Homo-oligomer: A and B are copies of this chain.
Amino acid sequence: MKWWGWGAEGHEFSDADKPDLWPYIVRQLGHDWQPARQPPVPRSSIRLPDSRLHGQPLRHLRQLLAGEQLRLDEDERLVHALGKSFRDLWQVRQGRIAAAPDAVVYPGSEADVQALLRWAVEHDVVLIPFGGGSNIAGCLDAHDPLGRPVVSLDMSRLGRVLEVDAASRVARIESGVFGPDLERQLASHGMTLGHFPDSFLHSTLGGWIATRSAGMQSDKYGKIEDMVLALRVVTPAGTLVTRPVPRASNGIDVNRLCIGSEGILGVITEATVQVHPLPPATLWQGYLFPRLESGLEAVRECVAAGCSPAITRLNDARKTALSFAFKSRRGRVRGALAAALKAWLRHARRFQFADCCLLLVKFEGTRRQIGRQRRLVNGIYRRYGAVSLGSEPGRAFERGKFDFPHLRDWLLDRGVYADVSETATVWSNLGPLYSAVMAELDRALHSTRCPGWTGCHVSHTYPSGASLYFTFAWADRLEAAEQHYDCLKRAAEDAFLRGGATLSHHHAVGREHLPWISDDISPTGVQAVQALKRGLDPRNIMNPGKLIPASPGEGPPADPTSSAEASE
């Protein structure tokens, strides 16, 4: 894993076959803007503070683990020091590591995890559960408000699919398995989990559950919380174990106490989840809508008609233009065809290209099911003025679907900063919220005086509503970028909360969204989560300072920005 960016060393984004992309970016950021190279500092210039783990606690730890399960070297501590949030990358590329874990441990079994928790309680050491390290909400921040030693608990050795019940379509799986390995193991049983977040290559089942993740095919397979039947979670108070049943009325659902707990209650070691047979066929279709409103209405009507393809992803006009800027070099014939289509749209259909919105749809199932779904959505889309673009835009999306996080590193190298804020709301509020958030982002961008760009797409549809995923990018000087990020992030999140929506649809709270949690789930909701935390982790050794403000009297507050200040 790269210490300075997304994914594994050696794999980076390239615009080599995307001739329109850089010119598009330059055009968006304005003629006055001069791109400036801002590469990360060399690895050799980074020096972490010495590990504070020694003496009796370290000796005791060495007794619990085999040699290679305990790592104290700087390389290991560095890649476990942070996640991949804007703030994480902004810091690490400058070689500024606010806090790093004092050690990294690799449990090989649930018994190891139990022993590590007992050890941590005994020696008052903080543990931070670590899956793939891809979190972008500050969930992995290694700073302990009380200044105790911190150990990163890397779950990657617990990676097996333990059991597949084909008749019930459920699988029991260790939490440390990464996306591709999980799908490989399930595919040998003809099954899939159907969970494909942008981070799929570099994130784990346990991480998905701890953060209430959503995959791009959630319209068919559900969000991760919809997939979990049972969990095993090691907490400082004992190991919580639930039963693999489809539904129950056994009081408060304790699975749900652990889903979304972001490591603050304990370590998820195992999950029993719903799986599905691999779809026999898939089909991509792209459509162009004359404007966003018509696309939103069409998508809503499809969901209301009971038709939810595996993916329905609607770009706003700005993100549509960006999508087309990603197109690769094409031959003379295809170029001529595209020009002809464009001319026809402009003249015969009176499309205003500045308003057009691209919708990508992925169908899954038998040929017959796909045919039926496609006829149904085509009929609805047509009534809203959509034009079919065939399967190529969707196939292009599929080819690059896990590249988006690499693009951010590529932009950072060029002095362009980018991040995202996403939310969900009911259908009736989707249009108004979109407008309000875009206005606030544009206003905030203007206040930074930086050249910038904003865009949005709609995905993850439900009977009651959908998610809105905003991207903002701006060209900046290194020194000012964090302050401008705060300004933009706050504009988006304040607008979400003011507009009746939630702080995140699938990116977790961590430290990044902490200023909005009290407004989102109400102060009494925060008290409820704090009570759970006190009950299961009375010494606050599990991932402190994330998800909820510290309880009163628990030492210094985890985040200096209080909820009240943040919502000014």
Interface residues of A (CB under 8 A from B): 165, 167-170, 211-214, 223, 225, 229, 233, 235, 237-254, 256-262, 265, 274, 276, 300, 304, 306, 369, 423-429, 460, 462-467, 500-509, 513, 517, 520-525, 527-532, 534-536, 547-548
Contact = CB atoms under 8 A, between A and B. Distances in A.
B536 A535 contact: no
A238 B527 CA distance: 9
Contact of A426 (B168, B523, B535): B168
B256 A252 contact: yes
Contacts of A274: 463-464
Contacts of A525: 240-242, 254, 257
Given A235-B524, A243-B502, A261 B252 contact: yes
Given A245-B425, A465-B246, A239 B532 contact: no
A528 B521 contact: no
A251 B535 contact: no
B245 A424 contact: yes
Contacts of A170: 426, 464
Contact of A245 (B261, B304, B501): B501
B547 A536 contact: no
5 smallest beta-carbon distances between A and B, as pairs: A531-B535, A256-B256, A168-B426, A246-B462, A238-B524
Contacts of A244: 426, 464, 500
B246 A251 contact: no
9 contacts: A168-B426, A212-B248, A245-B426, A248-B502, A250-B517, A251-B509, A252-B260, A254-B521, A256-B257
A541 to B, nearest CB: 16
Q: In the complex this chain forms, how many copies of it are found?
A: 2
B243 A547 contact: no
Contacts of A259: 252-253
A520 B521 CA distance: 28
Contacts of A258: 252
A494 to B, nearest CB: 14
Contact of A252 (B165, B249, B304, B532): B532
A252 B212 CA distance: 9
Contacts of A517: 250-251
Nearest to A240: B524
Nearest to A236: B524
Given A251-B260, A517-B251, A535-B532, A426 B214 contact: no
A523 B238 contact: yes
Contacts of A500: 243-245
Given A168-B428, A240-B522, A257 B248 contact: no
Given A235-B524, A248-B520, A257-B257, 4 more contacts: A240-B524, A253-B256, A531-B535, A532-B535
A329 to B, nearest CB: 38
Given A247-B424, A509-B250, A524 B260 contact: no
